[in-house]
Structure 1
Amino acid sequence: MNHQGYTARIEYDERDALFVGRILGIRSIISFHGETVSELRAAFEHAVEDYLAECAAAGISPEKPASGKLLLRIPPELHGRALIAAQASGKSLNQWATEVLREAAETTL
């Protein structure tokens, strides 16, 4: 579930018979729930809007799930092998890594 660049993880709580969600990718713990998908979506959107309003009222910038910049520290051997794999596929290391990360992320979600 996505709203204004924020993503939520949804689970079903059988004991309480409702959907429970949590916004991912930020340090703040923001959760919400609903008995139906439409209630859940409305609660999610309301949670995001509340978070943004609270940040504005406090005069702070809301945390964004990701900036688009990623710094990794990996062993030099792996770095070298990744560089060779990227060059062999005719791509820059950044393009190659983006594709590998995208594929891995899509298979997990």
Structure 2
Amino acid sequence: MMNYKGYIGKVEFDDEQHIFTGEVINTRAVITFQGSSVEELEREFRNSVDDYIEWCKEDGVEPEKPYSGRFNVRIYPQLHQRAAVGAKMLGISLNSFLIKSLEDELNLMHI
């Protein structure tokens, strides 16, 4: 994965066309890029992000920020209760418990 100004790019190799193709994966906006070498891919990734930010500026809209750190989660009541009890048992807030749980799971996935 690539990171530039907080925008994360995921890259794949197209073995038919022999090029790298990439997409910014942490926004709803569609931001893509491609290159035939690692250097070109990195440059085009940065250019695509900069172009997106410039386009937003020219259009008078705020560029979509890569995640605000806030999101709502809907879970069933029994899981909510178990999480709240787990947090109390550890002596931490429910928010801290959920952050820890997400971090633990993502670490197992090496993300």
Q: TM-score when scaled to structure 2?
A: 0.90
Structure 1 equivalent of residue 10 of structure 2: 9
1:34 aligns with 2:35: yes
Structure 1 equivalent of residue 54 of structure 2: 53
Give aligned pairs, total.
109
Q: Which runs of 4+ in 1 moved over 6 A?
A: none
Deviation string 1:44-87 (CA, Å, 9 cap, x unpaired) is 00000000000000010001120111111111100011111222
Per-residue deviation at 1:102? Answer: 2.3
Q: Contact 1:18–1:33 at 8 Å: present in 2 too?
A: yes
With a CA cutoff of 8 Å and minimum separation of 6, indicate the structure with the bigger relative contact order: 1
Kindly report the root-mean-square deviation, in angstroms, between the aligned alpha carbons of the 2 structures: 1.4
CA distance in 2, matches of 1:40, 1:90: 47
Deviation string 1:23-55 (CA, Å, 9 cap, x unpaired) is 012222111011121211111000000000000
CA distance in 2, matches of 1:104, 1:11: 24
Aligned residue for 1:49, secondary structure, equals helix
Structure 2 equivalent of residue 67 of structure 1: 68
- Greater shift in the superposed pair: 39-48 or 25-34: 25-34
Q: Which runs of 5+ in 1 are unaligned?
A: none
Aligned residue for 2:62, secondary structure, equals coil
% identity of equivalent residues: 37
Structure 2 equivalent of residue 82 of structure 1: 83
In 2 relative to 1, CA 2–72 (structure 1 residues): closer, same or farther, beyond 3 Å?
same
Structure 2 equivalent of residue 97 of structure 1: 98
